[in-house]
Structure 1
């Protein structure tokens, strides 16, 4: 519709111009001595119009000619960028498909096109990760070093990648140095950097630093609550183990743990083992008693007889009080049997050990009964329990190997 209207308008203009030229009798006289040129007004208008179009064409041609080098350069730049974009996509696709050799080749080819620093840094990191997966560690380090020189503003990207790859290569100490050199070090690190540092500190066995990082990540709600509790528990247990040779450090650390955490059975077990290793059986027993009174744990009850104290009768009384609530706990019965052996209560010891064996026929109860019978001179029974205990222990080992 719009085209038809334009066509109608042009037709009307042509008719108007034709009628005007038909009834126009004017002329123009041009004098240039010794020449005189007389033209009709209509012809002059036509000549001026033709000259205008010729001049316009010449000017446009000149402009196009002057712009031609820039247009050619822009065209080449667009083609190069399109080529770089396609090659970068090929490299990323190959990397995520696991075709690391092709990914490295494509990414290095993009680097040779010398795109912007940001694009070069991204492609350098893809190439570095690909070289890392191919175990070409020297090539990986070379690519990262080149990227640091060519794209200094992308230092966070480069350092994060380098730290992650070093950590994957089991070089946590070097990864930590790089993470500590990030532009925003300390509490200002972003969550991904904190997660990466957490892994590095765990592998370096810096458990106090692990607990500090877990606190920061917990504030950001960066780790699921159940996983956070497990990680904290593991870190506290390992911290306790690392202080086993330093009694003062162990006591100070245990005192600084909250009362609620002290009642955790796994943490209490680690603390009890640490105090027992130092020979402080009183503290070990107290830790076990407080934890079991708050929350029952069969494995922790089994530790109650590990460290023979000076007041074994009091221990037996505590254990027998627990037995009223947990009569079929094999570990508790085994612990009671061992405590009775320490007090030379042979009859009670045998009863408790046999009761433990009836609840859970396992090699520790057989071993304890073998030792008891050996002390009592019943060598045949002792050999029988030793044999059965060894058989059960070997069966357990086979089951673990099959898993």
Structure 2
């Protein structure tokens, strides 16, 4: 673009000269300079040209004189940029000592001082040298105060001082001038400090900022809502908190599950069941199915009928099959319970399902199979290999039932299991 600018400037000058030449040729002007006996006479045009040449000569001379100093400055900038790049690469590679050294050297260049010191503080923080990181942030605060404040809060939170990190960010949060990264740190610090109200208040600004992707934001939102609902001291506080949450947050599956489990603890079985069934109607969730199954004591027969209706739409869901097995056990339907639990275990190993199956075998007097199922439950809990295959649960009986049923969408195309 610079070349085009020069070309355009030359074209403008040429056009001006072409239009001004007839006027200047008629009367070129007269300039007389006398100095200590020296006398110079010339036209105004020639004087202007001489002045331009003198100015160009002075500029050239000044640049020649400043070239050695400019060369040193250019070398300093080049080395600082290289050290900044090397320091950032070392930081990403986990060579935090090398990263801090290179970044501190890069910070000697004023233009790179802010980002270099911030990255150096992050390197020191990752090494666990929190006091050193805070010292570097004192210097970085002069060049990039807002970024340094957010990074200071992160360092304090990592150092196990979430209350101090929260106090550092609260003034800007109240003024609604906190950066997106600051809202994230505020939410995490408040969650760690137990200030769940403040953590919830950071969710909406954080969502609007778009600083986190949908998955990361949903995970953080679930953590905060779950902790908030689990911390309710009594049923009245739980219901008040649940009613005050925005509608979008009351639809988060983790929040619905946390509310239901806390409501069960306070004896609010019917409200918990209503919320779970409404959530399952909106979006199917195996975790919610397990929470719903824990409410089977309210009306086991009606719950079993409702769950068997869901089975038509979700025939290969281990959580639903486990819930059906538990509900069948509550009604004393041991053969049906064994069928559901075996199908659930064939689809996905689960210690709770193995334990439930062991209880079924024990109720049926099948002590050998019950002991094997208990051993498998313990093995799955420990992350060990199941000792006995499912097919050996009832020796001598050939199981011809399908483990997984084919599912098709509304167009008749088979669905693939994830």
Q: TM-score, normalised by structure 1?
A: 0.62
Matched, 1:223 2:212: yes
CA distance in 2, matches of 1:329, 1:123: 52
2:84 aligned to which of 87, 92, 103:
92
Which residue number in structure 1 is paired with residue 369 of structure 2?
A: 384
1:172 aligned to which of 143, 157, 162:
162
Contact 1:334 1:353 in 2 (8 A): no
CA distance in 2, matches of 1:102, 1:180: 34
CA distance in 2, matches of 1:76, 1:190: 43
Which residue number in structure 2 is paired with residue 232 of structure 1?
A: 221
Contact 1:275 1:284 in 2 (8 A): yes
Matched, 1:350 2:335: yes
CA distance in 2, matches of 1:101, 1:226: 32
What's the CA shift string for 1:213-238, capped at 9, x where partnerless? 22113333443345434433343223
Give ranges in structure 1 of 5+ residues lacking alignment: 1-46, 51-73
Quickly say closer, same or farther: Cα 1:257–1:92, change in 2 above 3 A: same
Offset of 1:351 from its aligned partner? 1.8
Matched, 1:142 2:160: no
Q: Mark the structure with the bigger radius of gyration.
A: 1
Alignment RMSD (CA, Å):
4.3
What's the CA shift string for 1:24-60, capped at 9, x where partnerless? xxxxxxxxxxxxxxxxxxxxxxx9669xxxxxxxxxx
Q: TM-score, normalised by structure 2?
A: 0.60
Contact 1:337 1:350 in 2 (8 A): no
Which residues of 2 match residues 1-400 of structure 1 at below 5 A? 85=77, 88-89=80-81, 91-98=83-90, 101=97, 104=100, 124-125=117-118, 127-145=120-138, 151=142, 155-180=145-170, 186-204=175-193, 206-243=195-232, 245-257=233-245, 262=250, 264-307=252-295, 309-323=297-311, 325-326=313-314, 329-342=317-330, 345-346=331-332, 348-361=333-346, 362=349, 363-375=351-363, 378=365, 381-391=366-376, 393-395=378-380, 397-398=382-383
CA distance in 1, matches of 2:354, 2:120: 60
Give ranges in structure 2 of 5+ residues lacking alignment: 1-35, 40-65, 386-418
CA distance in 2, matches of 1:167, 1:122: 21
CA distance in 2, matches of 1:107, 1:375: 69
Contact 1:107 1:123 in 2 (8 A): yes
Contact 1:330 1:359 in 2 (8 A): yes
Aligned length: 320
CA distance in 1, matches of 2:248, 2:67: 71
Contact 2:286 2:320 in 1 (8 A): yes
Offset of 1:389 from its aligned partner? 4.0
What's the CA shift string for 1:163-221, capped at 9, x where partnerless? 33334445433222223355x86312233332333343344454443332221133334
CA distance in 1, matches of 2:290, 2:104: 61
CA distance in 2, matches of 1:258, 1:159: 30
Quickly say closer, same or farther: Cα 1:302–1:353, change in 2 above 3 A: farther
What's the CA shift string for 1:133-190, capped at 9, x where partnerless? 5544444333444666xx4x753344234233334445433222223355x8631223
CA distance in 2, matches of 1:239, 1:291: 19
